[in-house]
Amino acid sequence: MATSQCRRLEGKVALVTAATAGIGLATAERLAEEGASVFICSRKQDNVDDAVKALRAKGLEVAGCACHVGSHEQRQRLVEQCVQKYGGLDVLVSNAAVNPGAGPISETTPDVVDKVLDINIKAAVLLVKEALPHLLRRPGSSIIFVSSVTAFNPPEPIGMYAVSKTALLGLTKGLAAELGPRGVRVNCVAPGIVPTKFSAALVDTPELAAQQAETTMLKRLGRPSEQAAAIAFLASPDAAYITGETLVVAGGMHSRL
């Protein structure tokens, strides 16, 4: 990723979940480049350590800890450690998600439904609940959810996952209405197809990647840095009058409910 010339987040503290690879890692890097102190997490401590080491080697202020966002105790510890390390919290980026099964929605097993809803929706809501007391203390604070362009038209074989991402669009609107009067903005980014480990099933052959690229107006797949740039914008003062919105970063893919 090219180093950002913007310093819109100087003095801010950002917490980014699932931030040791892909879009999450790119987001942590971009926010830190713009001046934020960034606290990251992932399920495995080794992955957190590697990401922190790599980002610090670039001169960025980053720390982190292991966290399974489905655990109340670990969510609580995550927010506490972030605030203890950096003295507060201005930006929450909720990026963690799972897709434990593939196939038609009507054939999804109960255990897969439970896991998708537990991590992709329930954990996002409860993480906001943990972070909110700290966000309310900081003028200009914001929450950003990472959804997906598939939220607008859930496709097989990832329909259940996509439906959980649809729920984040509603969560964004609902929380924005609740928290706007209290000074907290809430927005969402809906990435298109970005070649990462998480999306490997959609792009794991040149033929599949080409097919996905053809669904965009730009005729190419996205990059993690492009999602990170959108998230940084929404977290910054440049977006001070934007709340309750979903910014689609998908190269022109169809994106309306």
* Rounded Cα gap, residues 22 and 194, in angstroms: 9
Q: Are 221 and 194 in contact, with CB atoms under 8 Å apart?
A: yes
Q: Of 69, 64, 29, 59, which Cα lies nearest the Cα of 49?
A: 64
* Rounded Cα gap, residues 150 and 129, in angstroms: 26
**Alpha-carbon 3 to chain mean position:** 20
* Rounded Cα gap, residues 73 and 58, in angstroms: 32
Q: Which amino acid is at 182?
A: R
The catalytically annotated residue of 39, 86, 145, 161 is: 161
* Rounded Cα gap, residues 22 and 4, in angstroms: 18
* Rounded Cα gap, residues 85 and 126, in angstroms: 21
**241 noted as active-site residue:** no
Q: What is the CA radius of gyration of the chain?
A: 17
For residue 197, what is the DSSP state?
S
**Catalytic positions, written as ranges:** 161
